[in-house]
Structure 1
Amino acid sequence: MTIKPWRRTGSRTVHRDRWVHLRAEAWVTGEGKVLDPWYMLDWPDLVHVVALTPDDRMVLVRQFRPGAEATVLELPGGMVEAHEADPVAAGRREFTEETGYAAEGFRLVSTLRHDPAHAGNRLHVVLAEGAVPAAAQQLDHGEEIAVECLPVSEVVAGLGAGLIGNAGHVGPILLALRAAGRLGF
Protein backbone atom coordinates (compact mmCIF):
# COMPACT_ATOMS: atom_id res chain seq x y z
CA MET A 1 0.00 0.00 0.00
CA THR A 2 1.29 3.41 -0.94
CA ILE A 3 0.60 6.14 1.60
CA LYS A 4 -0.15 9.47 -0.04
CA PRO A 5 1.01 12.65 1.70
CA TRP A 6 -1.52 14.74 3.56
CA ARG A 7 -2.22 18.35 2.62
CA ARG A 8 -2.62 21.17 5.19
CA THR A 9 -5.51 23.43 4.23
CA GLY A 10 -5.55 25.77 7.20
CA SER A 11 -3.96 26.70 10.51
CA ARG A 12 -5.03 28.95 13.35
CA THR A 13 -3.40 29.76 16.66
CA VAL A 14 -5.30 28.61 19.74
CA HIS A 15 -2.69 29.70 22.29
CA ARG A 16 0.85 31.05 22.19
CA ASP A 17 3.30 31.98 24.93
CA ARG A 18 7.04 31.60 25.56
CA TRP A 19 6.69 27.85 26.22
CA VAL A 20 4.25 26.52 23.66
CA HIS A 21 2.34 27.39 20.51
CA LEU A 22 -0.90 25.41 20.13
CA ARG A 23 -2.39 25.40 16.65
CA ALA A 24 -5.62 23.94 15.32
CA GLU A 25 -4.92 22.86 11.76
CA ALA A 26 -7.05 21.47 8.98
CA TRP A 27 -5.67 18.55 6.97
CA VAL A 28 -6.88 16.49 4.05
CA THR A 29 -5.54 12.93 4.11
CA GLY A 30 -4.17 11.20 1.04
CA GLU A 31 -7.55 9.49 0.69
CA GLY A 32 -9.40 12.82 0.85
CA LYS A 33 -10.70 12.68 4.42
CA VAL A 34 -10.87 16.05 6.20
CA LEU A 35 -9.36 16.25 9.70
CA ASP A 36 -10.29 19.53 11.35
CA PRO A 37 -9.18 20.35 13.95
CA TRP A 38 -5.87 18.53 14.11
CA TYR A 39 -3.97 19.96 17.05
CA MET A 40 -0.26 20.72 16.76
CA LEU A 41 2.12 21.86 19.48
CA ASP A 42 5.21 23.88 18.70
CA TRP A 43 7.85 24.05 21.39
CA PRO A 44 11.61 24.19 21.43
CA ASP A 45 13.81 21.19 20.73
CA LEU A 46 14.55 19.06 23.79
CA VAL A 47 17.77 17.46 24.99
CA HIS A 48 18.12 14.42 27.28
CA VAL A 49 21.50 13.56 28.79
CA VAL A 50 22.49 10.00 29.63
CA ALA A 51 25.44 10.51 31.98
CA LEU A 52 27.71 7.72 33.19
CA THR A 53 30.09 8.02 36.13
CA PRO A 54 33.54 6.39 36.31
CA ASP A 55 32.13 3.86 38.84
CA ASP A 56 29.41 2.65 36.42
CA ARG A 57 26.44 4.65 37.64
CA MET A 58 23.91 6.73 35.75
CA VAL A 59 23.24 10.29 36.91
CA LEU A 60 19.47 10.76 37.15
CA VAL A 61 17.14 13.41 38.52
CA ARG A 62 14.01 13.04 40.61
CA GLN A 63 11.36 15.75 40.44
CA PHE A 64 7.63 16.25 40.79
CA ARG A 65 5.72 16.06 37.52
CA PRO A 66 2.18 17.49 37.52
CA GLY A 67 1.02 15.21 34.67
CA ALA A 68 1.89 12.13 36.73
CA GLU A 69 0.93 13.82 40.01
CA ALA A 70 4.02 12.14 41.41
CA THR A 71 7.74 12.50 41.90
CA VAL A 72 9.47 10.58 39.11
CA LEU A 73 12.99 9.52 38.18
CA GLU A 74 14.20 10.88 34.85
CA LEU A 75 17.16 11.84 32.72
CA PRO A 76 18.53 15.34 33.22
CA GLY A 77 17.80 17.67 30.35
CA GLY A 78 15.42 20.27 29.08
CA MET A 79 14.82 22.73 26.30
CA VAL A 80 17.39 23.87 23.79
CA GLU A 81 17.34 27.65 24.14
CA ALA A 82 16.55 29.72 21.02
CA HIS A 83 20.13 31.07 20.85
CA GLU A 84 21.72 27.58 21.10
CA ALA A 85 22.60 26.03 17.75
CA ASP A 86 24.48 23.06 19.24
CA PRO A 87 22.35 20.45 21.07
CA VAL A 88 25.47 19.01 22.73
CA ALA A 89 26.27 22.40 24.28
CA ALA A 90 22.64 22.69 25.39
CA GLY A 91 22.87 19.22 26.94
CA ARG A 92 26.06 20.14 28.78
CA ARG A 93 24.40 23.30 30.10
CA GLU A 94 21.19 21.55 31.21
CA PHE A 95 23.12 18.67 32.77
CA THR A 96 25.37 20.94 34.83
CA GLU A 97 22.51 23.24 35.88
CA GLU A 98 20.24 20.39 37.01
CA THR A 99 22.81 18.09 38.61
CA GLY A 100 25.92 20.11 39.48
CA TYR A 101 27.96 17.45 37.65
CA ALA A 102 30.48 17.86 34.86
CA ALA A 103 31.73 15.17 32.49
CA GLU A 104 34.88 14.41 30.50
CA GLY A 105 33.05 14.18 27.22
CA PHE A 106 29.64 14.88 25.71
CA ARG A 107 28.54 13.57 22.34
CA LEU A 108 25.36 13.46 20.32
CA VAL A 109 23.97 9.95 20.07
CA SER A 110 20.75 10.54 18.15
CA THR A 111 18.22 13.12 17.08
CA LEU A 112 14.66 11.86 17.20
CA ARG A 113 11.16 13.32 16.93
CA HIS A 114 9.45 13.98 20.24
CA ASP A 115 5.86 13.38 19.00
CA PRO A 116 5.69 13.53 15.21
CA ALA A 117 1.89 13.21 15.12
CA HIS A 118 1.36 16.48 17.00
CA ALA A 119 4.68 18.31 17.41
CA GLY A 120 7.47 19.46 15.14
CA ASN A 121 10.25 19.63 17.69
CA ARG A 122 13.20 17.29 17.94
CA LEU A 123 14.67 15.36 20.86
CA HIS A 124 18.45 15.23 21.03
CA VAL A 125 20.06 12.37 22.97
CA VAL A 126 23.46 13.25 24.42
CA LEU A 127 25.87 10.81 26.09
CA ALA A 128 28.11 12.19 28.84
CA GLU A 129 30.90 9.93 30.07
CA GLY A 130 33.10 10.39 33.12
CA ALA A 131 30.48 12.37 35.05
CA VAL A 132 31.58 13.66 38.46
CA PRO A 133 30.23 16.22 40.96
CA ALA A 134 31.67 19.64 40.12
CA ALA A 135 29.52 22.48 41.48
CA ALA A 136 26.22 23.37 43.09
CA GLN A 137 23.01 22.95 41.10
CA GLN A 138 21.74 26.08 39.35
CA LEU A 139 18.02 25.40 39.19
CA ASP A 140 15.48 27.45 37.26
CA HIS A 141 12.49 29.05 38.97
CA GLY A 142 10.12 26.25 39.99
CA GLU A 143 12.67 23.45 39.67
CA GLU A 144 13.11 21.22 42.71
CA ILE A 145 15.47 18.44 41.68
CA ALA A 146 17.13 15.67 43.66
CA VAL A 147 20.12 13.99 42.00
CA GLU A 148 20.40 10.20 42.21
CA CYS A 149 23.16 7.99 40.85
CA LEU A 150 22.07 4.40 40.29
CA PRO A 151 24.11 1.46 38.99
CA VAL A 152 23.66 1.15 35.23
CA SER A 153 22.65 -2.51 35.66
CA GLU A 154 19.88 -1.48 38.09
CA VAL A 155 18.56 1.14 35.67
CA VAL A 156 18.48 -1.30 32.75
CA ALA A 157 16.85 -4.03 34.87
CA GLY A 158 14.19 -1.58 36.08
CA LEU A 159 13.17 -0.11 32.73
CA GLY A 160 10.41 -2.63 32.05
CA ALA A 161 9.00 -2.16 35.56
CA GLY A 162 8.75 1.62 35.20
CA LEU A 163 11.80 2.69 37.21
CA ILE A 164 12.09 5.53 34.70
CA GLY A 165 8.49 6.74 34.48
CA ASN A 166 8.84 8.88 31.36
CA ALA A 167 8.45 6.67 28.29
CA GLY A 168 10.34 9.28 26.25
CA HIS A 169 13.45 8.62 28.33
CA VAL A 170 13.63 4.84 27.93
CA GLY A 171 14.69 4.84 24.27
CA PRO A 172 17.38 7.49 24.81
CA ILE A 173 18.82 5.44 27.68
CA LEU A 174 19.06 2.35 25.49
CA LEU A 175 20.52 4.25 22.53
CA ALA A 176 23.12 5.98 24.68
CA LEU A 177 24.15 2.76 26.44
CA ARG A 178 24.58 1.14 23.03
CA ALA A 179 26.71 4.10 21.89
CA ALA A 180 28.81 3.71 25.03
CA GLY A 181 29.40 0.04 24.19
CA ARG A 182 27.30 -1.12 27.12
CA LEU A 183 24.45 -2.79 25.21
CA GLY A 184 24.39 -4.69 21.97
CA PHE A 185 21.33 -4.62 19.74
Structure 2
Amino acid sequence: MVPELKWTVLSSEYLHRGPWATLRSDKCQMPDGRIVPAYYVLEYPDWANAVAMTEDNKILMVRQYRHAAGVVSLEIPGGVIEPGEEPIIGMKRELLEETGYAFNEMELLCKLHANPSTGNNITHCYLARGGKKVQTQQLDEQEQIIVEEYTIDEVKQLLAENKITQALHVSTLFYALAKLKAIQW
Protein backbone atom coordinates (compact mmCIF):
# COMPACT_ATOMS: atom_id res chain seq x y z
CA MET A 1 0.00 0.00 0.00
CA VAL A 2 1.34 3.43 -0.98
CA PRO A 3 1.09 6.00 1.82
CA GLU A 4 -0.81 9.25 1.19
CA LEU A 5 1.65 11.96 0.11
CA LYS A 6 -0.57 14.87 -0.96
CA TRP A 7 -0.70 17.95 1.24
CA THR A 8 -3.88 19.81 2.21
CA VAL A 9 -3.86 23.57 1.59
CA LEU A 10 -5.23 25.31 4.68
CA SER A 11 -4.86 28.88 3.40
CA SER A 12 -3.19 30.92 0.64
CA GLU A 13 -1.90 34.49 0.56
CA TYR A 14 -0.82 36.29 -2.61
CA LEU A 15 2.45 38.19 -2.17
CA HIS A 16 2.87 39.43 -5.77
CA ARG A 17 0.70 39.39 -8.86
CA GLY A 18 2.32 40.10 -12.23
CA PRO A 19 1.64 39.44 -15.90
CA TRP A 20 4.27 36.68 -16.18
CA ALA A 21 4.47 35.32 -12.65
CA THR A 22 2.50 35.42 -9.41
CA LEU A 23 3.89 34.47 -6.01
CA ARG A 24 1.72 32.99 -3.30
CA SER A 25 2.38 31.50 0.11
CA ASP A 26 0.39 28.40 1.09
CA LYS A 27 -0.08 27.13 4.64
CA CYS A 28 -0.32 23.36 4.30
CA GLN A 29 -0.90 20.26 6.37
CA MET A 30 1.10 17.16 5.56
CA PRO A 31 -0.62 13.73 5.70
CA ASP A 32 1.01 12.99 9.06
CA GLY A 33 -0.46 16.19 10.56
CA ARG A 34 2.63 18.39 10.47
CA ILE A 35 2.01 22.00 9.39
CA VAL A 36 4.08 23.76 6.72
CA PRO A 37 3.54 27.42 7.67
CA ALA A 38 4.72 29.02 4.39
CA TYR A 39 5.30 27.10 1.15
CA TYR A 40 6.00 29.48 -1.74
CA VAL A 41 4.43 28.75 -5.12
CA LEU A 42 5.12 30.56 -8.39
CA GLU A 43 1.99 30.68 -10.53
CA TYR A 44 2.78 30.94 -14.22
CA PRO A 45 0.47 30.73 -17.22
CA ASP A 46 0.80 27.50 -19.20
CA TRP A 47 3.39 27.49 -21.97
CA ALA A 48 3.72 25.80 -25.34
CA ASN A 49 6.77 25.02 -27.47
CA ALA A 50 7.34 23.17 -30.73
CA VAL A 51 9.97 21.45 -32.77
CA ALA A 52 9.02 23.24 -35.98
CA MET A 53 10.00 21.56 -39.23
CA THR A 54 9.86 23.35 -42.56
CA GLU A 55 8.61 21.82 -45.82
CA ASP A 56 12.21 20.81 -46.60
CA ASN A 57 12.65 19.15 -43.15
CA LYS A 58 14.78 21.87 -41.55
CA ILE A 59 14.19 22.55 -37.85
CA LEU A 60 13.51 26.19 -37.01
CA MET A 61 15.38 27.45 -33.97
CA VAL A 62 15.21 30.89 -32.40
CA ARG A 63 18.08 32.80 -30.82
CA GLN A 64 17.26 35.42 -28.20
CA TYR A 65 18.55 37.09 -25.06
CA ARG A 66 17.26 35.69 -21.75
CA HIS A 67 17.79 38.34 -19.09
CA ALA A 68 17.24 36.26 -15.92
CA ALA A 69 20.15 33.97 -16.90
CA GLY A 70 22.07 36.71 -18.75
CA VAL A 71 22.55 34.52 -21.82
CA VAL A 72 21.80 34.52 -25.52
CA SER A 73 19.90 31.26 -25.84
CA LEU A 74 19.31 28.94 -28.81
CA GLU A 75 15.79 27.55 -28.39
CA ILE A 76 12.78 26.11 -30.17
CA PRO A 77 9.88 28.53 -30.73
CA GLY A 78 7.32 28.85 -27.98
CA GLY A 79 5.63 31.07 -25.46
CA VAL A 80 2.72 31.77 -23.17
CA ILE A 81 -0.73 30.36 -23.80
CA GLU A 82 -3.22 33.21 -23.42
CA PRO A 83 -6.12 32.86 -20.93
CA GLY A 84 -8.92 30.79 -22.48
CA GLU A 85 -6.75 29.80 -25.47
CA GLU A 86 -6.41 26.13 -26.44
CA PRO A 87 -2.72 25.10 -26.24
CA ILE A 88 -2.52 24.07 -29.92
CA ILE A 89 -4.00 27.44 -31.00
CA GLY A 90 -1.52 29.25 -28.77
CA MET A 91 1.32 27.26 -30.29
CA LYS A 92 0.24 28.06 -33.83
CA ARG A 93 0.01 31.75 -32.88
CA GLU A 94 3.46 31.72 -31.28
CA LEU A 95 5.00 30.02 -34.32
CA LEU A 96 3.50 32.60 -36.65
CA GLU A 97 4.52 35.55 -34.45
CA GLU A 98 8.07 34.38 -33.71
CA THR A 99 9.03 32.82 -37.05
CA GLY A 100 6.51 33.97 -39.66
CA TYR A 101 5.86 30.31 -40.52
CA ALA A 102 2.50 28.52 -40.66
CA PHE A 103 2.34 24.74 -40.24
CA ASN A 104 -0.07 22.24 -41.77
CA GLU A 105 0.49 19.51 -39.16
CA MET A 106 0.72 19.78 -35.36
CA GLU A 107 1.09 16.81 -33.02
CA LEU A 108 1.21 16.91 -29.23
CA LEU A 109 4.35 15.10 -28.07
CA CYS A 110 4.10 15.49 -24.31
CA LYS A 111 3.21 17.73 -21.40
CA LEU A 112 5.98 18.74 -19.01
CA HIS A 113 6.31 20.51 -15.66
CA ALA A 114 9.22 22.96 -15.62
CA ASN A 115 9.69 22.63 -11.86
CA PRO A 116 6.71 21.18 -9.99
CA SER A 117 8.31 21.90 -6.62
CA THR A 118 7.93 25.66 -7.07
CA GLY A 119 5.84 26.29 -10.22
CA ASN A 120 2.29 25.28 -11.05
CA ASN A 121 2.18 25.44 -14.85
CA ILE A 122 2.38 22.91 -17.68
CA THR A 123 4.31 23.14 -20.93
CA HIS A 124 2.52 21.62 -23.95
CA CYS A 125 5.15 20.31 -26.38
CA TYR A 126 4.44 19.83 -30.08
CA LEU A 127 5.96 18.57 -33.29
CA ALA A 128 4.97 20.92 -36.12
CA ARG A 129 5.58 19.84 -39.72
CA GLY A 130 5.23 21.32 -43.18
CA GLY A 131 6.20 24.86 -42.18
CA LYS A 132 5.95 27.53 -44.83
CA LYS A 133 6.99 31.19 -44.49
CA VAL A 134 3.80 33.26 -44.85
CA GLN A 135 4.60 36.56 -43.11
CA THR A 136 7.23 38.59 -41.31
CA GLN A 137 7.76 38.19 -37.59
CA GLN A 138 5.22 39.94 -35.32
CA LEU A 139 7.26 40.23 -32.12
CA ASP A 140 6.25 41.56 -28.72
CA GLU A 141 7.76 44.86 -27.62
CA GLN A 142 10.56 43.23 -25.60
CA GLU A 143 11.39 40.45 -28.09
CA GLN A 144 14.37 40.37 -30.43
CA ILE A 145 14.44 36.97 -32.10
CA ILE A 146 16.71 35.62 -34.82
CA VAL A 147 15.25 32.62 -36.69
CA GLU A 148 17.73 29.97 -37.81
CA GLU A 149 17.34 26.70 -39.72
CA TYR A 150 19.15 23.47 -38.88
CA THR A 151 19.16 19.92 -40.22
CA ILE A 152 18.22 17.10 -37.86
CA ASP A 153 21.87 16.03 -37.71
CA GLU A 154 22.95 19.59 -36.85
CA VAL A 155 20.40 19.74 -34.01
CA LYS A 156 21.63 16.39 -32.69
CA GLN A 157 25.18 17.78 -32.71
CA LEU A 158 24.06 20.97 -30.91
CA LEU A 159 22.46 18.79 -28.23
CA ALA A 160 25.57 16.61 -27.94
CA GLU A 161 27.72 19.73 -27.48
CA ASN A 162 25.33 21.22 -24.86
CA LYS A 163 24.63 24.25 -27.10
CA ILE A 164 20.88 24.12 -26.36
CA THR A 165 20.44 24.57 -22.61
CA GLN A 166 16.77 25.44 -22.04
CA ALA A 167 15.67 22.24 -20.29
CA LEU A 168 12.06 22.18 -21.54
CA HIS A 169 13.28 22.69 -25.10
CA VAL A 170 15.93 19.98 -24.81
CA SER A 171 13.25 17.57 -23.55
CA THR A 172 10.90 18.45 -26.41
CA LEU A 173 13.70 18.01 -28.94
CA PHE A 174 14.44 14.52 -27.62
CA TYR A 175 10.76 13.55 -27.78
CA ALA A 176 10.55 14.88 -31.36
CA LEU A 177 13.78 13.19 -32.48
CA ALA A 178 12.51 9.89 -31.09
CA LYS A 179 9.16 10.38 -32.87
CA LEU A 180 11.04 11.09 -36.11
CA LYS A 181 13.17 7.96 -35.50
CA ALA A 182 16.28 10.17 -35.57
CA ILE A 183 17.38 8.72 -32.21
CA GLN A 184 16.67 5.50 -30.38
CA TRP A 185 15.46 5.35 -26.79
TM-score (normalised: structure 2): 0.90
- RMSD after superposition: 1.8
SS at match of 1:130: strand
Residue 20 (structure 2) aligns with: 19
1:167 aligns with 2:167: yes
Residue 126 (structure 2) aligns with: 126
- Structure 2, gaps ≥5 residues long: none
1:65 aligns with 2:66: yes
1:54 aligns with 2:55: yes
Amino acid of the residue matched to residue 168 of structure 1? L
Residue 115 (structure 1) aligns with: 115
- Partner Cα separation in structure 2 for residue 179 and residue 107 of structure 1: 10
- Partner Cα separation in structure 1 for residue 94 and residue 61 of structure 2: 12
Q: Count matched residues.
A: 184
Deviation for aligned residue 1:160: 4.0
Deviation for aligned residue 1:53: 2.3
Deviation for aligned residue 1:82: 0.7
Residue 90 (structure 1) aligns with: 90
Deviation for aligned residue 1:102: 1.8
- Partner Cα separation in structure 2 for residue 5 and residue 138 of structure 1: 43
Instruction: Check the 8 A contact 2:152/2:182 in 1, yes or no.
Output: no
- Partner Cα separation in structure 2 for residue 112 and residue 170 of structure 1: 12
Instruction: Check the 8 A contact 1:77/1:95 in 2, yes or no.
Output: yes
Q: Percent identity?
A: 34
- Partner Cα separation in structure 2 for residue 184 and residue 55 of structure 1: 23
TM-score (normalised: structure 1): 0.90
Deviation for aligned residue 1:59: 0.3
Deviation for aligned residue 1:73: 0.4
- Partner Cα separation in structure 2 for residue 4 and residue 88 of structure 1: 33
Within 5 A, what are the aligned runs for 1:26-37? 26-37=27-38
CA deviation profile, 1:87-113 (whole Å, cap 9, x unmatched): 111111101100111222112222222
Which runs of structure 1 show a deviation greater than 6 angstroms over 4 or more consecutive aligned residues? none
Amino acid of the residue matched to residue 179 of structure 1? K
Which moves more between the two structures, 29-38 or 165-174?
29-38
Deviation for aligned residue 1:29: 2.6
